[in-house]
Amino acid sequence: MINFLLLPILIPLITGVILIFFSKNIIAQRWISGISSLSTIAVSAILVQKIRQDGIQTLDVSSWDAPFGITLVSDMLSALLVLTTSIVACTTLIYSFRSIGQERERFYYYPCFNFLIVGVNGAFTTGDIFNLFVFFEVMLMASYALIVLGGTKIQLRESIKYLLVNIISSALFVITVAYLYSVVGTLNMAHISQRISEVDQPGIITVIAILFLVVFGLKGAVFPLSFWLPGSYNAPPIPVMALFGALLTKVGVYSIMRTYTLLFYHDTGYTSKILATLAILSIIFGLIGALAFADIKKIIIYNIIVAVGVILFGISVMTTDSLTGSVFYLIHDMLIKTTLFLLIGIIISITGTSKLQEISGLIKKYPGLAWTFFLSALSLAGIPPLSGFIGKLLIVKGGFEAGNYLGAAIVLISSLLILLSIMKIFINGFWGTPRSYEGEKKASVKTLMIAPIILIIISILLGVGAQAVYPYISQAAETLVKPEIYIDAVLKE
């Protein structure tokens, strides 16, 4: 049972490999990937429970001792993120069955889907910096295939940009690893952390920390490095967009969280100031985009950047409260962004357009859709009983405690403007006089609604049942606040 934390990586990997052999048999593909994603959820839920009872789980792959082999580490943070990833993957998969279309399904959509999950789960679980790079590449390679699959003009055009940005950021990642290796001489994250604390973070380590911020900022769309995101995320079909929006940027955010709390926590004066500034700028930039566009896809896409900013602000403050808030908000945001993408996907499949001016009065014919959207909009903005509230509350509280009043105030104001941007969709799209749309008959709204309804229920439970979830989240934040726990678990001193 000690290999248990490998299962969330292994199950999608094996599924992906098996699915390659059945590429033309769509029914078999759906069944196999559906069952495997359900079992991934089950396995990761058991993993979370196991960590709750026994503490951090580590696995030295092929029994090489910690700094010498690759060590996989599942602490509460990574296990929770793996669980969230599995839930997002499963619901997106259910949605894909109805919406992705047979042409794409026949050309290795499901294998790519599974390999993407392998990369994401691996990146969350690994304890080795170069292995993190490899899992990033697994994830990115699958995402390249998914973003261009179908080969429409807009997809080809935007994929080239997406590829180029990620190739450059991967090259930067390797450069940064090379620098770090030449300074500390090890690749295991716990061991790196120990070595850095021995030399007490000289200037060169701070430079490397900033380089890591640039690398992960490019992956995670932090403000000046988020220029590629609005165009690229606009191109692929809705389920792929939902996967990207929920998972890819969040892996970058997780990596920033991990490196800044585990490796570079000694001399935080400079790094945290930069992190806070970039976070606030991301929030502002994202808000400007979200308010400026009258295109429902674009509004949600810019909201990704806002959420990245909010989470990063929590990380930059570095108190227990703010880190707990960041973890909570990260999980909430993965769920709610998927919900929103899937919901606007349904709107687009009904109306055939993503322009807000051409949509109105949907609530008459689709009350279920409307109220689900309303709930997820409130949850995104952080209205108290729903899941977005507690995370933001803790982040703001941490910000005020640490004396960063400006940042905390901007996080608060951002909620209001997020609500405005998303209510714009609700008021313009759902209220007003009903219209009829071409192709409305074909849209199978009832079956498409299954996935977002599951997600919104989980999200509501996360908000209402915060009392029950809180111990898990605070255990996750505890490792972030006290990296010794992580180091001791890996190096077993």
Indicate which single residue of 6, 80, 187, 315 sits in contact with another protein (rule: CB under 8 A): 187
Name the β-bridge partners of 60: 71
Q: Which two tokens stand for residue 52?
A: 């709750």
- Helix H or strand E segment including 359: none
Indicate which single residue of 231, 352, 361, 432 sits in contact with another protein (rule: CB under 8 A): 231
- Helix H or strand E segment including 283: helix 268-292
207 part of the interface to another protein, by CB under 8 A: no
168 part of the interface to another protein, by CB under 8 A: yes
Per-residue DSSP letter, 234: H
Indicate which single residue of 160, 204, 461, 464 sits in contact with another protein (rule: CB under 8 A): 160
| DSSP collapsed to 3 states, the chain | CHHHHHHHHHHHHHHHHHHHHCCCCHHHHHHHHHHHHHHHHHHHHHHHHHHHHHCCEEEEHHHCCCCCCCEEEECHHHHHHHHHHHHHHHHHHHHHHHHCCHHHHHCCHHHHHHHHHHHHHHHHHECEHHHHHHHHHHHHHHHHHHHHCCCCHHHHHHHHHHHHHHHHHHHHHHHHHHHHHHHHCCCEHHHHHHHHHHHCCCHHHHHHHHHHHHHHHHHHCCHHHCCCHHHHHHCCCHHHHHHHHHHHHHHHHHHHHHHHHHHCCCCHHHHHHHHHHHHHHHHHHHHHHHHHCCEHHHHHHHHHHHHHHHHHHHHHHCCHHHHHHHHHHHHHHHHHHHHHHHHHHHHHHHHCCCEHHHCCCHHHHCHHHHHHHHHHHHHHHCCCCCCHHHHHHHHHHHHHHCCCHHHHHHHHHHHHHHHHHHHHHHHHHHCCCCCCCCCCCCCCHHHHCHHHHHHHHHHHHHHHCHHHHHHHHHHHHHHHHCHHHHHHHHHCC
152 part of the interface to another protein, by CB under 8 A: yes
179 part of the interface to another protein, by CB under 8 A: yes
Nearer of residues 237 and 398 to another protein, judged by Cβ: 237
Nearer of residues 156 and 427 to another protein, judged by Cβ: 156
Part in contact with another protein (CB under 8 A); list of ranges 59-67, 160-168, 188-196, 448-456:
160-168
Find the binding residues for another protein in span 354-413 (CB under 8 A): 354
24 part of the interface to another protein, by CB under 8 A: no
Interaction pattern, residues 107-146, with another protein; x per rule: CB under 8 A: -----------------------x--xx--x---x--xx-
Which residue's entry shows tokens 């090890």? 186
353 part of the interface to another protein, by CB under 8 A: no
Part in contact with another protein (CB under 8 A); list of ranges 163-171, 413-421, 453-461, 468-476:
163-171
444 part of the interface to another protein, by CB under 8 A: no
Part in contact with another protein (CB under 8 A); list of ranges 179-187, 374-382, 384-392, 406-414:
179-187
461 part of the interface to another protein, by CB under 8 A: no
State how far the Cα of 159 lies from the Cα of 21, in Å rounded to an integer.
27
23 part of the interface to another protein, by CB under 8 A: no
Indicate which single residue of 148, 296, 395, 480 sits in contact with another protein (rule: CB under 8 A): 148
Part in contact with another protein (CB under 8 A); list of ranges 156-164, 335-343, 358-366, 436-444:
156-164
CB of 68 to another protein, least distance (A): 10
Under 8 Å CB-to-CB from 227, ≥6 apart: which residues?
Answer: none
Indicate which single residue of 20, 156, 406, 416 sits in contact with another protein (rule: CB under 8 A): 156
428 part of the interface to another protein, by CB under 8 A: no
292 part of the interface to another protein, by CB under 8 A: no
Indicate which single residue of 24, 106, 157, 446 sits in contact with another protein (rule: CB under 8 A): 157
Nearer of residues 316 and 354 to another protein, judged by Cβ: 354
Q: At 277, which amino acid appears?
A: T
Nearer of residues 298 and 392 to another protein, judged by Cβ: 298
- Give the residue ranges of DSSP H helices in 318-404: 320-351, 362-365, 367-381, 388-401
CB of 196 to another protein, least distance (A): 17
Part in contact with another protein (CB under 8 A); list of ranges 115-123, 171-179, 374-382, 468-476:
171-179
Total length of the chain: 493
CB of 325 to another protein, least distance (A): 36
Cβ–Cβ under 8 Å, residues 226 and 282? yes
Nearer of residues 164 and 457 to another protein, judged by Cβ: 164
Nearer of residues 93 and 147 to another protein, judged by Cβ: 147
Q: Kindly calculate the radius of gyration of the chain based on its CA atoms and give it in whole angstroms.
A: 21
Part in contact with another protein (CB under 8 A); list of ranges 154-162, 361-369, 435-443, 466-474:
154-162
181 part of the interface to another protein, by CB under 8 A: yes
Nearer of residues 248 and 370 to another protein, judged by Cβ: 248
211 part of the interface to another protein, by CB under 8 A: no
Nearer of residues 150 and 483 to another protein, judged by Cβ: 150
Per-residue DSSP letter, 72: E
Total interface residues for another protein by CB under 8 A: 34
Applying CB under 8 A, the residues found at the interface with another protein are 130, 133-134, 137, 141, 144-145, 148, 151-154, 156-157, 159-161, 163-164, 167-168, 170-171, 174-175, 177-179, 181-182, 187, 231, 234, 354
